[in-house]
Amino acid sequence: MRYLTAGESHGKQLTTIVEGVPSLMPLTSANVNESLLRRQKGHGRGKRMQIEKDLVDIAGGVRHGYTLGSPIALVVKNDDFKHWEDIMGEDPIDMDGDIRRTVTRPRPGHADLNGAIKYGHRDMRNILERSSARETAARVAAGAVAKTLLNHLGINIVGYVREIAGIKAEDQKELSFEDKQRISEESPVRCLDDTNGKKMMDAIDQAKADGDSIGGVCEVYVEGLPAGIGSYVHYDRKLDARIAFAVQSINAFKGVEFGIGFEAARRNGSEVHDEIGWSEAEGYYRKTNRLGGFEGGMTTGMPIVVKGVMKPIPTLYKPLQSVDIETKEAFQASIERSDSCAVPAAAVVMEHVVAFEIAKAVLEQFPNDQFPKLKEVFDQYREEVRCF
Ligand SMILES: Cc1cc2nc3c(=O)[nH]c(=O)nc-3n(C[C@H](O)[C@H](O)[C@H](O)COP(=O)(O)O)c2cc1C
Ligand SMILES: C=C(O[C@@H]1CC(C(=O)O)=C[C@@H](OP(=O)(O)O)[C@H]1O)C(=O)O
């Protein structure tokens, strides 16, 4: 299973093609829309999210609520396009006969300058349109297909927020999967505890008032996977590595941790490795889950717990020093419409890119053209693991 996305932030639409999804899997636009709408919610986003109402048009690969086995085409329109039609159109001359204003002032922290150098564009709009995280709507659409597949196999996945601007959510060990899911849907900052959630909202409001931006840490939790998904035999078959790649590829993500992550560097082995137990009902299990569900690039059967760190948004109302690429003069970055914190939205993006990698690994391990047969084989494997 693989996917490609196309589309610019203020262009007509985002297009995603997901290839390799087996036939006869129940899939409707509601499965995708639920994910898209969740991504749009979250405290700290700018005016753009009030303009967009992301809804998918499934333009291929699905009929009568079931996948056909052919590529699935997912289209999400940009409602903001109507305000940008002129700027995003083919004609470089505007209605007054002037050459359109170009973007020549790169923002520190965004892709503007490096992208312009690499692709030889003097108008950095050509860079920012595609480097914008608007593209994450397309990735969420693809991930929603993957998540639907996982859900049908009894695998559940949810993303939420662990930390914003140094304010950490307390560990809520007693929370069930359903609780985490509810919080991820309802909390404006997707924080697992209300007290710190409130503090996070205040921090976001403060950053916005200061013309600044803040980052944080998202976590994705996956339960219901049997041991042995992924592989140790070759570097690019290690599922934890593939998840890390997918998370790191989200706009503004700067690092990835599984389980206790970097804390492992500071502990003895006896306080890191998860002891093995066995029971008649469950088969093998781990007494702890400090390694976040992975050993040797394969699942252990414990929940996958993966964190990703997001840097603060680069576009600031509070100006940072930069250089105009035409005049070479220093300037203080001009004011642009922007989010002040997108960590709650990014938790949903992370959930979906992780879902895609897991679904892809499942399909590699249990290849099948027809979903019901895949499910049969997968359930059989689950039973073999339990009885091993
Ligand atoms: C959901 C989401 C929303 C974002 N919103 C903005 C934004 O409004 N303004 C901005 O400058 N960057 C925003 N970003 C971050 C930039 O897209 C990102 O920093 C940029 O593409 C450069 O890539 P890099 O930070 O990975 O190096 C957002 C990221 C995500 C995941
Ligand atoms: C459009 C989305 O996010 C955008 C990501 C983004 C950026 O530079 O990454 C900049 C902003 O866009 P605009 O310049 O139009 O205000 C965000 O709103 C979205 O998430 O759907």
pLDDT digits (tens, 9 = 90+) for 117-141: 999 999 999 999 999 999 999 999 9
**Would the annotation count 101 as a binding residue?**
no
> Is the pTM of the predicted complex or chain greater than 0.90?
yes
d(C-alpha 34, C-alpha 136), whole Å: 15
pLDDT digit string, tens, across residues 168-197: 998 888 899 999 999 999 999 999 999 999
Which ligand is nearest the CA of 112, by number? 1
CA 312 – ligand 1 centroid, Å: 8
CA–centroid distance for 60 within its chain: 23
Neighbours of 118 (CB within 10 A): 10
Q: Tell me which of 94 and 116 has the higher pLDDT.
A: 116
Share of the chain above pLDDT 70, in %: 98
Which amino acid, residue 290? Answer: R
Quick one: which atom of ligand 1 is closest to the CA of 311?
25
**Would the annotation count 337 as a binding residue?**
yes
Contact predicate 139/15, CB 8 Å: no
Span 199-226, average pLDDT: 97
Which ligand is nearest the CA of 47, by number? 2
Which ligand is nearest the CA of 317, by number? 1
Quick one: which atom of ligand 1 is closest to the CA of 48?
8
Phi, psi torsion values for 60, nearest 5 degrees? 180, 155
Q: How confident is the model at residue 334 (pLDDT cuts 50, 70, 90)?
A: low
Cα distance between the two ends of the chain = 29
Contact predicate 155/225, CB 8 Å: yes
pLDDT digit string, tens, across residues 299-320: 999 999 999 999 999 999 887 9
Contact predicate 192/159, CB 8 Å: no
Structure tokens at 332: 């203080």
Q: Which residues line ligand 1 (CB under 6 A)?
A: 46, 109-111, 131-133, 136, 250-252, 313-315, 338-339, 342, 345-346, 349
d(C-alpha 379, C-alpha 153), whole Å: 8
ipTM reported for the complex surpasses 0.85: yes
pLDDT digit string, tens, across residues 345-355: 999 999 999 99
pLDDT at residue 337, as a whole number: 83
**Would the annotation count 312 as a binding residue?**
yes
Contact predicate 60/72, CB 8 Å: yes
For atom 21 of ligand 2, the residue with the nearest CA is 134
pLDDT at residue 50, as a whole number: 93
Q: How far is CA 288 from CA 139, 219, 226, 259, 292, in A?
A: 32, 18, 16, 10, 9
pLDDT at residue 333, as a whole number: 64
d(C-alpha 323, C-alpha 316), whole Å: 16
Q: Evaluate if residue 147 carries a pLDDT over 70.
A: yes
Contact predicate 305/256, CB 8 Å: no
pLDDT digit string, tens, across residues 64-102: 999 999 999 999 999 999 999 888 887 777 667 776 778
Q: Which domains does the chain have, with CATH numbers?
A: 2-387 (3.60.150.10)
